């Protein structure tokens, strides 16, 4: 199982003292947020971090050895003691799980792509500073230039993210009376139809779960359901833990009308800042099992599992999840069947 974080861009904003690093970030961040992005920032303070007054309860608890999480009406702050191996990479990895872009103020010696800022009369960067990809003079319109360049990097990283597909075969199929993935409709099994539908846009297809599959699909990789997790979430978390930096197209084996056109529409709803796409169907019901999940959705799903909230559709309440309505001509692709009678009623 892999455990590396997703790979949104990480960009350092560097320059000598009084080059305007904080001012630039204060201008850029709202513009990125207006584009729908979740932005993380790492700032190094050589004089020490001051977040509370000596004598306050939270400060006292920190000083006697505890890591402290402060919660208020509109913000949460975690104050942690440094670990023996704490470094910039660890901090970046922590932020990448819940953000679309991470900006680092300073750290000019690190091998990160850098925006270099010049203050009035400042000399060129010191020898040995590498990976400078954009230089901005003091008198230029720096905020729009930096924002445009960062957005280009965000979209490039987005376009380069690999897309995998998973077909869930771990269900008991009690109401159907036999494994749904082996039910035949119009000459092919429902699992074969699901694999065919998602095969176009994905690099790799795997099965999740221990259920039987048709002989024609036995060569596909298979992952076990996550232990201790109930329902489809067990398969979903299994693949996201296995390849956490991939986008996952998830398909169940109970949709006899699923097709490549519907999956293409689904993929087309993706955009930076959206961490899952769950189509909204009739009566406001969202469908989490012909849906798309980005790497940043995994911590949210892990939190659900920790609270025994097994239904993936609970994720739809998060503001990073969109629930678009499919076009009428494609909506049948999301209709599922659970009984032999429902299966018999499917005409096309």
pTM, full prediction? 0.90
pLDDT score, position 115: 96
Domain hosting 310: range is 163-344
Vertex 209: Cα angle to 207 and 211 (nearest 5):
95
Same domain, residue pair 153 and 167: no
From the list 121, 140, 139, 146, the residue with the least C-alpha distance to 14 is: 146
Alpha-carbon span 26 to 21, nearest angstrom: 9
Nearest CA to 159 out of 315, 267, 18, 44 is that of 267
The CATH number of residue 33's host domain is: 3.40.50.300
Whether residue 258 sits in one domain with residue 134:
no
CA distances from 316 to 87, 240, 322, 336 (A): 34, 18, 7, 19
Query: Could you tell me if 28 and 150 lie in one domain?
Result: yes
CA atoms within 13 A on the CB side of 126: 7
Return d(Cα 7, Cα 95) in angstroms, integer. Answer: 11
Q: Apex CA 315: angle with CA 68 and CA 1, to 5°?
A: 75
Residues 152 and 247 in one domain: no
Tell whether 326 is covered by a domain: yes
Q: How far is CA 55 from CA 66, 187, 213, in A?
A: 15, 74, 63
How many domains are there within the chain?
2
Residues 306 and 228 in one domain: yes
What is the helix, strand, coil percentage profile of the chain, to 5? 30, 20, 50
Asked whether the beta carbons of 117 and 137 are under 8 A apart, the reply is no
C-alpha radius of gyration, the chain, whole number: 24
Q: How many CB atoms lie within 10 A of CB 230?
A: 13
Give the pLDDT of residue 76. 81
Within-domain flag for 202: yes
Handedness of CA 106, 111, 112, 116 (dihedral sign): positive
My answer on whether 117 and 169 are in the same domain is no
113 located within any domain: yes
Each of the 348 residues of the chain gets a pLDDT tens digit; together they read: 455 666 679 999 999 999 999 999 999 999 999 999 999 999 866 555 566 666 677 778 888 888 888 888 888 877 777 776 557 778 888 888 999 999 999 888 888 899 999 999 999 999 989 999 999 999 889 999 999 999 999 999 999 999 999 999 988 788 888 899 999 999 999 999 999 999 999 999 999 999 999 999 999 999 999 999 999 999 999 999 999 999 999 999 999 999 999 999 999 999 999 999 999 998 789 999 999 999 999 999 999 999 999 999 999 999 999 999 999 999 999 999 889 898 888 865
What pLDDT score was predicted for residue 62?
A: 80
Last residue of a domain, one of 99, 129, 160: 160
- With a CB cutoff of 8 Å and minimum separation 6, the contacts of 4 are 93, 244, 245
Yes or no: say if 234 and 170 are a contact pair by the CB < 8 Å rule. yes
Structure tokens at 238: 């299994």
Return the structure tokens found at 221: 């990789």
Q: Answer yes or no: do 94 and 186 share one domain.
A: no
Residues 180 and 285 placed together within one structural domain of the fold: yes
**Amino acid 347: pLDDT:** 67
- Burial readout 80-110 (b: 16 or more C-beta within 10 A, e: otherwise): eeeeeeeebeeebebbbbebbbbbbbbbbeb
**In this predicted structure, what is the pLDDT of residue 51?**
64
Given a contact cutoff of 8 angstroms between Cβ atoms, the answer to whether 320 and 296 are in contact is yes
Q: Provide the pLDDT for residue 1.
A: 44
Quote the pLDDT of residue 5.
63
C-alpha to C-alpha distances, 254 to 85, 242, 258, 335, 338, nearest whole angstrom: 48, 24, 9, 8, 7
Shared-domain flag, residues 36 and 96:
yes
Q: Is residue 114 part of a domain?
A: yes
Contact 324, 279 (CB under 8 A): yes
Per-residue burial over 112-134, b if 16 or more Cβ lie within 10 Å, else e, is: bbbbbbbeeebeebeeeeeeeeb
């Amino acid at each position: 199982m892999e455990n590396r974080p997703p790979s949104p861009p990480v960009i350092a904003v560097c320059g000598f003292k009084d080059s305007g690093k904080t001012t630039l970030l204060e201008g850029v961040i709202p513009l990125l947020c207006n584009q729908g992005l979740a932005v993380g920032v790492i700032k190094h303070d050589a004089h020490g971090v001051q977040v509370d007054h000596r004598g306050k309860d939270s400060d006292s608890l920190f000083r006697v050895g505890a890591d402290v999480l402060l919660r208020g009406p509109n913000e949460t702050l975690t104050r942690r003691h440094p670990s023996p191996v704490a470094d910039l990479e660890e901090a970046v990895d922590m932020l990448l799980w819940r953000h679309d872009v991470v900006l680092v103020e300073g750290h000019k010696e690190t091998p990160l792509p850098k925006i270099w800022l010049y203050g009035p009369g400042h000399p060129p960067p010191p020898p040995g500073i590498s990976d400078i990809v954009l230089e901005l003079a003091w008198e230029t319109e720096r905020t729009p230039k930096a924002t445009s360049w960062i957005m280009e990097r965000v979209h490039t990283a987005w376009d380069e993210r690999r897309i995998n597909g998973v077909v869930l075969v771990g269900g008991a199929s009690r109401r159907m009376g036999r494994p749904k993935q082996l039910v035949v409709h119009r000459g092919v099994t429902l699992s074969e139809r699901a694999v065919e539908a998602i095969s176009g846009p994905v690099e790799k297809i795997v099965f999740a779960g221990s259920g039987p599959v048709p002989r024609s699909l036995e060569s596909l990789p298979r992952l076990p359901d996550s232990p201790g997790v109930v329902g489809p979430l067990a398969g979903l978390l299994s693949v996201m833990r296995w390849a956490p930096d991939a986008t996952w197209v998830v398909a169940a084996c109970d949709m006899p009308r699923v097709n490549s056109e519907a999956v293409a529409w689904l993929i087309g709803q993706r955009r930076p800042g959206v961490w899952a796409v769950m189509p909204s169907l009739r009566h406001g019901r969202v469908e989490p099992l012909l849906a798309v999940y980005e790497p940043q959705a995994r911590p949210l799903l892990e939190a659900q599992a920790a609270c025994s909230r097994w239904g993936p559709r609970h994720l739809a309440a998060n503001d990073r999840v969109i629930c678009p309505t499919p076009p009428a001509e494609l909506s049948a692709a999301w209709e599922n069947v659970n009984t032999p009678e429902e299966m018999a009623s499917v005409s096309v």
